[in-house]
Amino acid sequence: MDNQVFSALLSQARKQHPLVHHITNYVTVNDCANITICAGGAPVMADAAEEAGEMASLSGSLVLNIGTLNAGIIKSMLLAGKAANNHKIPIILDPVGVGATRLRTESCRRLLDELTVAIVKGNAGEIGVLAGADAKVRGVDSAGLKGDPVAVARTFARDTGITVVMSGATDIITDGERVLLVENGHSLMGTISGTGCMATSVTGVCAAVSKDRVMAAATALAAFGLAGERAAEKSRGPGSFKPALFDEMAALTPADILTGARIKSS
Amino acid sequence: MDNQVFSALLSQARKQHPLVHHITNYVTVNDCANITICAGGAPVMADAAEEAGEMASLSGSLVLNIGTLNAGIIKSMLLAGKAANNHKIPIILDPVGVGATRLRTESCRRLLDELTVAIVKGNAGEIGVLAGADAKVRGVDSAGLKGDPVAVARTFARDTGITVVMSGATDIITDGERVLLVENGHSLMGTISGTGCMATSVTGVCAAVSKDRVMAAATALAAFGLAGERAAEKSRGPGSFKPALFDEMAALTPADILTGARIKSS
Amino acid sequence: MDNQVFSALLSQARKQHPLVHHITNYVTVNDCANITICAGGAPVMADAAEEAGEMASLSGSLVLNIGTLNAGIIKSMLLAGKAANNHKIPIILDPVGVGATRLRTESCRRLLDELTVAIVKGNAGEIGVLAGADAKVRGVDSAGLKGDPVAVARTFARDTGITVVMSGATDIITDGERVLLVENGHSLMGTISGTGCMATSVTGVCAAVSKDRVMAAATALAAFGLAGERAAEKSRGPGSFKPALFDEMAALTPADILTGARIKSS
């Protein structure tokens, strides 16, 4: 594809510096904050029921990540989500580990039922579980999806009106009509905790500055994947890869997207 | 100024290795723990109401950081704070994002009303909000303070008896009488999450070993800023800057403070 | 000792890729997740009462770390622990800061009373407190144990049937009969927050693939210590040490254990 639109979208994110409100897990929250800054946004994390809605209404987008959820967190997600919906602020949902436990599955269904979610981003197992496909999740990792992943994602998007991002070696992004495939990324990204969550945060940055969910998500995944590719060249392993990933995400320019994004229509 | 007193204060921190109890946010808590060690202290984080007071009473200082607060955290902060006050242990408050939501503003007022706080450290927006000045906070970032920041900080300190640290390109430290300006620091410090919180933790280390709050805060900010300057020289971006910041803070000697601290009286 | 068994055990961990469920503190949780991956496991953190038991029953081992505990966490630990016991899944307990506050001491006693714990891993002060010896803990650090540490650990193990790991310059591992001493490690490991917690996570990975608790713990401590030694060679201080530690843990091969593990019988 012509990468001009993705390049312009990253440029816009850097210019607008949107506030990205997160209600997320305590495992990777610091990584989410830092990658949000590197991508051009301003992260804020506020999960108390008393302020979650107020903070969401002030933000450019709302990231909901269920990595370490509990009843209180779900309540805050619903309050923040409703405030976001009222203010037309896009919600990006990362259904971490959905399918692994009843709590995760039921909580995701409730979030999807009660909120208008703009983008849902998960691995093949997670998206498969949400879509009702034959899919498995082990802990927080995908343990397989039977069937054609593009078809599963596309049908789920079409049925729900949500833009779906199924992350993997090739990321699949679809609103039910358009399907984009993003081929940026590096295997080292799978060797650290938090790259999935970080990709969602970067998606939050991009979704805050564009109403085109598919283009926003593709920009985010391509930019983050490209940063991963460059970081891998400078790393000796997963430990040195993480700081390098932040360095490269921060250094990534719209011009880099022009030449380096590998996005194609399916 | 003659840097001898700041140098001696850092030396004292390294010798006494004070226990610094934190009730803080889950976003940057790991950074706070590590910078406390690098500065010479021993961090402990214990926020359950059942033990917050007991742990505080055993500590050299108490750091209260409202980055991700909720009703339970505030209760624990009050319990820990009262125990600290009873034992004459200094409290350092970081009012993260005060002004952004009602919960943050009301919680800070309650902490300031019910506890004797030794030092409050925030950005210009946060200190401005607390001081009742014309100030704004966006998420957890300062969005401007109208008026002379030194005058705002000084009046707030004089009115409350609290030593005020207003962080920025030049940090302002005042007890209402004395005003010190710290010019150490580097712009890369603003590109990662947690440098504000870390500066507060280092202030906790220094306040644990000196009753002179202004000198303790100035030592902390100069030392941390100097570590930031040195780390910046060894960094390729925000990702590599953070490990370098810990390296440099740990390597910083009292002799480095003698030659490198840039602190002046206003 | 012949390092063949330790080498084979690490090899087994890498092959089985066990799910290691953690209910742990929010200070070092990200480090625990990443070191689990580097050691060969798949980390999952789920501490809500609604899912803790379900997640534990799906896992290869359960790590309970009381670094930042509260009433809700203890409840989840008991639920997860009972599920683990029912499914014969080994529990590894890290009694962080036990002895520093009543909450920590009482919570540990309750966990040890109500659950069948496979391995308990703490510093000399923590194990001493649990054993009823003359020991002190300051914050989360050992502040001394009077008497012979090997004797304290051995008696505690014999009395309880729990495999005891007392970490230190030399790690002591005993089931009451056998005593192994692990001499791998580096002083830089004491300069960052989280190495104790990470050692427990690596122990969780190894305990998931071997019923011999002593051998599993010795493998974990030797491997992690060896990674620390190698990381130290590539570090300029505590900040650069941490990424290097992950790099070296991930790069460590069974062959490295053969030549580098320094484990002896006492």
Does position A1 have pLDDT exceeding 80, yes or no? no
pLDDT of residue B164: 98
Mean pLDDT, chain A, integer: 97
* pLDDT less than 50: residues of chain B: none
Contacts A193 to C, Cβ<8 Å: 30, 33-34, 37, 43
User: Residues C223, C240: contact at Cβ < 8 Å?
Assistant: no
**Does the beta-carbon distance from B33 to C31 stay under 8 Å?**
no
pLDDT of residue B1: 77
Q: How confident is the model at residue A198 (pLDDT cuts 50, 70, 90)?
A: very high
Going by the DSSP 8-state scheme, the letter that residue A188 receives in this structure is G
User: Residues C220, C6: contact at Cβ < 8 Å?
Assistant: no
Local structure of A169: helix, strand or coil: coil
Please give the average per-residue pLDDT across A87-106, as a whole number.
Answer: 97
Contacts C69 to B, Cβ<8 Å: 48
**Does the beta-carbon distance from C58 to A193 stay under 8 Å?**
no
Contacts A104 to C, Cβ<8 Å: 51
CATH architecture of the region A4-265: 3-Layer(aba) Sandwich (3.40)
All chains having 3 or more CB pairs closer than 8 angstroms to chain B: A, C
Please give the average per-residue pLDDT across A147-151, as a whole number.
Answer: 96
**Does the beta-carbon distance from B50 to C71 stay under 8 Å?**
yes
pLDDT of residue B94: 98
The whole-angstrom distance between C157's CA and the closest CA on chain B is 28
**CA B182 to the chain's CA centroid:** 13
Interface residues from chain A to C (CB-CB < 8 Å): 25-28, 30-31, 67-71, 97, 100-104, 138-141, 191-194, 235-240, 242-243
| Relative orientation angle of helices A102-114 and A124-131, to the nearest 10 degrees | 60
Distances (CA, A) of A107 to A12, A110, A128, C169: 33, 5, 16, 46
The fraction of chain C above a pLDDT of 90, given in percent, is: 98
For A101, the closest of C19, C29, C46 (CB atoms) is C46
Going by the DSSP 8-state scheme, the letter that residue A104 receives in this structure is H
ipTM entry = 0.96
User: Residues A217, A119: contact at Cβ < 8 Å?
Assistant: yes
**Does the beta-carbon distance from B192 to A37 stay under 8 Å?**
yes
Q: How confident is the model at residue C266 (pLDDT cuts 50, 70, 90)?
A: confident
User: Residues B188, B238: contact at Cβ < 8 Å?
Assistant: yes
pLDDT of residue C1: 77
Query: What string of H, E and C letters represents the secondary structure of chain C?
Result: CCCHHHHHHHHHHHHHCCEEEEECCCCCHHHHHHHHHHHCCEEEECCCHHHHHHHHHCCCEEEEECCCCCHHHHHHHHHHHHHHHHCCCCEEEECCCECCEHHHHHHHHHHHHHCCCCEEEEEHHHHHHHHCCCEEEECCEEEEECCCHHHHHHHHHHHHCCEEEEECCCEEEECCCCEEEECCCCHHHHHCCCHHHHHHHHHHHHHCCCCCHHHHHHHHHHHHHHHHHHHHHCCCCHHHHHHHHHHHHHHCCHHHHHHHCCEEEC
For B239, the closest of A43, A54, A245 (CB atoms) is A245
Q: Is C194 exposed, middle or buried (0-12, 13-18, 19+ CB in 10 A)?
A: buried
Interface residues from chain C to A (CB-CB < 8 Å): 19, 21, 26, 29-30, 33-34, 37-38, 42-51, 54-55, 58-59, 242-251
**Does the beta-carbon distance from A191 to C37 stay under 8 Å?**
yes
Interface residues from chain B to A (CB-CB < 8 Å): 25-28, 30-31, 67-71, 97, 100-104, 138-141, 191-194, 235-240, 242-243
Distances (CA, A) of C130 to A51, C76, C166, C195: 41, 21, 11, 21
pLDDT of residue C201: 98
**Does the beta-carbon distance from B102 to A248 stay under 8 Å?**
no
For C240, the closest of B29, B54, B247 (CB atoms) is B247
pLDDT of residue B199: 98
User: Residues A96, A127: contact at Cβ < 8 Å?
Assistant: no
The whole-angstrom distance between B264's CA and the closest CA on chain A is 32
Contacts A242 to C, Cβ<8 Å: 243, 246
pLDDT of residue C69: 94
pLDDT of residue B89: 98
**Does the beta-carbon distance from A44 to B240 stay under 8 Å?**
no
pLDDT of residue C167: 97
- What span, in angstroms and rounded, lies between the C-alpha atoms of B193 and A35? 9
- What span, in angstroms and rounded, lies between the C-alpha atoms of A261 and B3? 52
Which chain C residue lies closest to A104 (C-alpha atoms)? C51
Q: How confident is the model at residue C130 (pLDDT cuts 50, 70, 90)?
A: very high
pLDDT of residue A266: 87
Extents of the domains making up chain B:
4-265
The fraction of chain A above a pLDDT of 70, given in percent, is: 100
The whole-angstrom distance between A265's CA and the closest CA on chain B is 33
Please give the average per-residue pLDDT across C163-169, as a whole number.
Answer: 97
Q: How confident is the model at residue C124 (pLDDT cuts 50, 70, 90)?
A: very high
The whole-angstrom distance between A51's CA and the closest CA on chain B is 6
Which chain B residue lies closest to C30 (C-alpha atoms)? B30
The tens digit of pLDDT for each residue in B125-157 reads: 999 999 999 999 999 999 999 999 999 999 999
pLDDT of residue B266: 86
Burial C197-228 (b: 16+ CB within 10 A, else e): bbbbbbbbbbbbbbebbbbbbbbbbbbbbbbb
Of A136-150, A237-251, B115-129, C248-262, the one with minimum mean pLDDT is: A136-150
The tens digit of pLDDT for each residue in A35-88 reads: 999 999 999 999 999 999 999 999 999 999 999 999 999 999 999 999 999 999
All chains having 3 or more CB pairs closer than 8 angstroms to chain A: B, C
Contacts C46 to A, Cβ<8 Å: 68, 97, 101
The whole-angstrom distance between A141's CA and the closest CA on chain C is 8
Distances (CA, A) of B250 to A21, A30, B205, B225, B226: 33, 22, 13, 13, 12
Please give the average per-residue pLDDT across A105-115, as a whole number.
Answer: 97
